[in-house]
Amino acid sequence: METSRRPDHQPAAAASGGPAQAPAEPVLAGRTALVTGAASGIGRACAQALAAAGAHVHVVDRAGEAAERLAKEIGGTPWVVDLSEPDVVDTLPAEVDVVVNNAGIQHVAPVHEFPPDRFALIQRVMVETPFRVLRRTLPGMYERGWGRVVNISSVHGLRASPYKSAYVTAKHALEGLSKVVALEAAEHGVTSNCVCPGYVRTPLVENQIADQARTHGISEEEVVGRVMLERSAIKRLIEPADVAEAVLWLCGPRTGHITGSSLSMDGGWTAN
């Protein structure tokens, strides 16, 4: 798979008109971050927030134009790769201080009808790729004695829902990987945590709404109210910028004792 990147390293700045606001202090000044699935949704918001905090951000996504555009806006470096091909991880930068494993895909179907190749693809993108990214980047963090790993998990890393066998499996596996890294990396000054949002207003969720409507034979409006947010006490979708704020907090200087944790942002879903 061909990769492309922009070699120029401009000062990081928040995207004009973007959802993330510049923090009071550049808590990540001089740091370098790598965000997968960074061209849209949660990944985009995370890249903007990290850049606003002073980090140089490597924007990793298969959507080339969107990745290039975002990298230009925030003074980052775009890497146009297809993470369904695990070997491409070896082309990504290894010397980073912050990793946000965010890339994800979805497919909705009953287990007995779920395409095995689609199941395997989801595991490659959402489990094997984070493993490979961390295998590549952790040695440098260990050498420097500091690092932050934030895995964008989901309420589905803590709970299950029907028709999402591959996604639920992958998110549970990501939770396990995150905890193992937390235990191994602690002595090196590196933390590893998951952020577990409920339904976030992203293109992936918009696609899920349409898929669920077809699966259940109901309208998209009913999917949001009756299916997606049925178990949530707060009846509104989460905004990507809210997730990014949680990620930025976990990457900051005052969270060094938070590791191996799963931060729920589910509107009360897991309180049931």
- Neighbouring C-beta atoms of residue 259, cutoff 10 Å: 20
**Residues paired with 61 in a beta bridge:** 80
Please identify which of the residues 142, 163, 167, 199 carries the catalytic annotation: 167
- Exposure pattern of 133-172 as b/e (b: 16+ CB <10 Å)? bbebbbeebbeeebbbbbbbbbbbbbbeeebbbbbbbbbb
Phi/psi for 183 (5° steps) reads -70, -40
Name residue, tokens 């589905």: 156
Closest to 134 in 3D by CA, of 176, 181, 91: 181
First to last CA, the chain: 45
Query: In the annotation, is 167 catalytic?
Result: yes
- Residues with a catalytic annotation lie at 167
